[in-house]
C-alpha cells in the first residue's frame, strides 16, 4: 500500500509511522526509565477501592515501584489472607516481579493507567497465571516482559475474565528478529471462554495472542509489531475468537510482522468485524493441511499486505463482505487466494480491489456466491427453480447486454421473447453443427449455420 499520508506527500505523518516509532522505542528503552520518581504521587485509593472490604494497596505492603526493587513479596503479602473478591490496587510506578500471586475468583487488579502502573517481568516463564477461576478483571495496568522466552499471561480453564485498558508488551522488532520470536503475550487454553480484551494493546511479541479454546473476545484493541498477531492453534476443532474494531499494524520491515492473523488446523468459529490490517507479509491465513475453521467471517475490513491479503486454505464456510484489499508496497500483491478443494463453497460480497475495477471472477471457485460491482454469480442450482412475477406488467426474467439493452426476456405469461434478430434459439443438429433459428421480414423461419463450435 503506498503511503499517501507521508510527510513528503502532504505534510502529515502516517499513523503507521507514529505507531511503529513509538513501539520500537518502547521495545528498546526499559519502561522503568519512563516512570521516574519525579512523577506526581498516586492517589492512595479511589472511592471505589476505599469502599471495598478486601481492597489492598500494594505500596501499603512494602512495594516500591521504582523499577529495580523486587516487589514480588510485597504483592504476595497484599494478596494473602483474601479468599474472595480481592481488589488489588497498583499505584503509578514500575514494579519488578518474579511472579504475580494466584488471584481468587472475582478479583480486580486496578492501576492508575496502562503506561503508569506497570508490572515488569525479567523472568523466562509466565508472569500472570489464571487457572480455574472466574471473572478476574485487570484494569488500567501494563505488563512488560523482557526475557526472550517469557510469556506475559496465560488463562486456563477460566471463564469471564476481562482486561480493560491494559497494555501487554514484549521486545520483538524487525531489527532484533529472531531474538524474541519465542516471546508470548497472551495464551488462552484448556477451554477458557468468555474472556474479553477491551481497549487494550498487545505489542512486540513473537506471538501476540494464542487461542486454543472456544469463544473469547477482542474489542476496540490493537496488535502492533508482533511477528504473528493472533494465532488460532490446537487443531482440535475448538479454537475460536471474535474480534470487533481491532487494528493490526506494523512497520515496513519484513522481519517485524509475518502474519497478522493465522488460524492453524481444524477450529471453530472466527468472526472479524470492522478490522484494519497493514504492515505485514500476509494479513490473514485461514486453515492449513489439517483443516480449518467451520466458519470464518470478515465484514467491513481493510487489508494491506506485501505478499497476500487473504489466504483461504481450508474453511467450511467463509463469508467475506465489504472488504477492501490493497498492497503494502510498490510490488504487486495477491489480494485473495482460495484453495478450491478445501474451500469449495463460500460467499464474497462487495470486495474492493486497489488495482482492479473488481476482483477477477476466476479468483473464486465455481460454487462460491459472489456479488461485486454490477456483477453477480453463484453456485449451480441442483433443484427445481421457480420464478414468480412481481406484478402483471413486469418480466419474470431479462437478459441485458451493453447499456442495459434487453436482448431476451420471459414475459409474465411465460412467453420467451428474443429482442435481437441476431440472437434467438440455437440448436445442435444431428451432424454436430449448430444452427440459429430466426425469422425474416415476412415471418418465415430460417436456419443459419453456425459451424461446429458451440456459440457463446
Please tell me the chain's helix, strand, coil percentages from 3-state DSSP, rounded to the nearest 5. 10, 40, 50
Contact 55, 45 (CB under 8 A): yes
User: Would the pLDDT of 37 be above 80?
Assistant: no
Q: Kindly indicate the confidence band of residue 57, based on its pLDDT and cuts at 50, 70 and 90.
A: very high
C-alpha triplet 340, 343, 349: angle, nearest 5°: 100
Contact 286, 320 (CB under 8 A): no
Q: Picking from 45-54, 121-130, 177-186, 395-404, which range would have the lowest pLDDT averaged per residue?
A: 45-54
Q: Which helix (H) or strand (E) holds 203?
A: strand 201-203
Q: Kindly indicate the confidence band of residue 148, based on its pLDDT and cuts at 50, 70 and 90.
A: very high
Query: If you write DSSP's letter for every residue of 240-271 in order, what string do you get?
Result: -EEEES-EEE--S-TTT-SEEEEE-SSEEEEE
What is the distance between the alpha carbons of residues 257 and 207, in angstroms, rounded to a whole number? 10
398: Cβ contacts below 8 Å, ≥ 6 apart:
406, 408, 409, 410
Q: For the chain, give the mean pLDDT.
A: 87
pLDDT tens-digit series, residues 80-99 = 978 778 999 999 999 999 99
pLDDT tens-digit series, residues 243-277 = 999 999 999 999 999 999 999 999 999 999 999 99
Q: Give the model's pLDDT for residue 174.
A: 97
Q: Tell me how crowded residue 80 is: count the other CB atoms within 10 A of its CB.
A: 11
Q: Which residue's entry shows cell 461446429?
A: 452
What is the distance between the alpha carbons of residues 322 and 200, in angstroms, rounded to a whole number? 25
Q: What's the average model confidence in pLDDT over 157-174?
A: 98
What is the distance between the alpha carbons of residues 263 and 240, in angstroms, rounded to a whole number? 9
User: Would the pLDDT of 144 be above 90?
Assistant: yes
SS3 216: coil
Q: Give the model's pLDDT for residue 51.
A: 60
ω into 178 cis (within 30 of 0): yes
All structural domains of the chain? 105-377 (2.160.20.10), 397-451 (no CATH)
Nearest to 152 by CA among 112, 118, 175, 178: 118
SS3 32: helix
Q: Picking from 23-37, 141-155, 203-217, which range would have the lowest pLDDT averaged per residue?
A: 23-37
Q: Which residue's entry shows cell 520470536?
A: 181
User: Would the pLDDT of 12 be above 70?
Assistant: no
pLDDT tens-digit series, residues 289-328 = 999 999 999 999 999 999 999 999 999 999 999 999 999 8
Q: How many helices (H) and strands (E) does the chain have?
A: 4, 37
Q: Picking from 7-16, 162-171, 238-247, 408-417, which range would have the lowest pLDDT averaged per residue?
A: 7-16
* pTM reported for the whole predicted model: 0.79
What is the distance between the alpha carbons of residues 263 and 267, in angstroms, rounded to a whole number? 8
Q: How far is CA 319 from the centre of its chain?
A: 13
Phi, psi angles (nearest 5°) of residue 167: -110, 125
C-alpha triplet 320, 326, 327: angle, nearest 5°: 135
| Pairing verdict, β 434-439 and 426-428 | antiparallel
Amino acid at each position: 500500500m503506498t503511503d499517501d499520508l507521508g510527510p513528503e506527500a502532504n505534510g502529515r505523518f502516517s499513523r503507521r509511522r507514529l505507531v511503529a516509532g513509538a513501539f520500537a522505542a518502547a521495545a528498546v528503552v526499559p519502561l522503568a526509565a519512563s516512570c521516574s520518581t519525579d512523577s506526581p504521587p498516586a492517589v492512595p485509593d479511589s472511592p471505589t477501592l476505599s469502599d471495598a472490604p478486601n481492597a489492598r494497596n500494594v505500596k501499603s505492603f512494602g512495594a516500591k515501584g521504582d523499577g529495580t526493587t523486587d516487589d514480588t513479596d510485597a504483592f504476595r503479602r497484599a494478596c494473602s489472607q483474601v479468599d474472595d473478591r480481592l481488589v488489588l490496587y497498583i499505584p503509578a510506578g514500575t514494579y519488578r516481579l518474579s511472579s504475580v500471586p494466584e488471584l481468587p475468583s472475582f478479583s480486580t487488579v486496578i492501576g492508575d493507567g496502562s503506561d503508569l502502573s506497570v508490572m515488569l517481568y525479567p523472568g523466562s516463564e509466565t508472569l500472570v497465571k489464571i487457572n480455574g477461576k472466574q471473572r478476574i478483571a485487570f484494569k488500567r495496568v501494563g505488563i512488560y516482559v523482557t526475557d526472550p522466552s517469557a510469556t506475559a499471561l496465560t488463562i486456563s480453564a477460566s471463564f469471564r475474565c476481562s482486561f480493560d485498558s491494559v497494555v501487554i508488551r514484549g521486545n520483538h522488532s524487525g531489527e532484533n528478529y529472531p531474538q524474541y520470536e519465542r516471546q508470548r503475550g497472551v495464551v488462552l487454553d484448556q477451554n477458557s471462554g468468555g474472556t474479553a480484551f477491551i481497549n487494550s494493546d498487545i505489542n512486540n511479541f513473537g506471538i501476540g495472542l494464542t487461542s486454543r479454546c472456544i469463544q473469547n473476545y477482542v474489542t476496540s484493541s490493537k496488535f502492533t509489531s508482533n511477528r504473528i498477531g493472533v494465532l488460532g492453534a490446537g487443531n482440535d476443532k475448538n479454537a475460536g475468537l471474535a474480534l470487533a474494531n481491532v487494528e493490526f499494524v506494523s512497520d515496513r520491515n519484513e522481519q517485524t510482522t509475518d502474519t497478522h492473523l493465522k488460524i492453524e488446523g481444524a477450529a471453530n468459529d472466527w468472526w472479524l468485524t470492522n478490522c484494519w490490517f497493514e504492515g505485514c507479509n500476509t494479513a490473514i491465513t485461514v486453515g492449513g493441511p489439517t483443516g480449518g475453521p467451520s466458519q470464518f467471517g470478515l465484514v467491513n475490513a481493510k487489508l494491506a499486505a506485501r505478499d497476500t491479503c487473504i489466504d483461504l486454505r481450508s474453511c467450511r464456510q467463509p463469508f467475506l463482505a465489504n472488504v477492501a484489499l490493497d498492497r503494502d508496497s510498490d510490488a504487486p500483491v495477491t489480494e485473495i487466494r482460495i484453495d478450491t478443494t478445501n474451500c469449495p463453497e463460500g460467499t464474497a460480497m462487495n470486495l474492493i480491489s486497489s488495482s482492479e475495477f473488481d476482483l477477477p471472477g476466476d479468483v473464486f471457485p465455481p460454487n462460491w456466491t459472489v456479488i461485486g460491482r454490477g456483477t453477480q454469480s453463484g453456485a449451480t442450482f441442483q433443484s427445481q427453480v421457480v420464478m414468480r412475477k412481481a406484478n402483471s406488467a413486469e418480466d419474470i426474467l431479462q437478459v441485458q447486454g451493453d447499456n442495459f439493452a434487453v436482448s431476451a426476456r420471459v414475459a409474465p405469461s411465460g412467453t420467451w421473447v428474443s429482442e435481437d434478430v441476431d440472437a434467438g434459439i440455437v440448436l445442435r443438429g444431428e451432424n454436430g453443427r449448430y444452427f440459429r433459428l430466426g425469422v425474416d421480414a415476412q415471418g418465415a423461419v430460417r436456419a443459419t449455420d453456425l459451424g461446429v463450435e458451440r456459440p457463446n
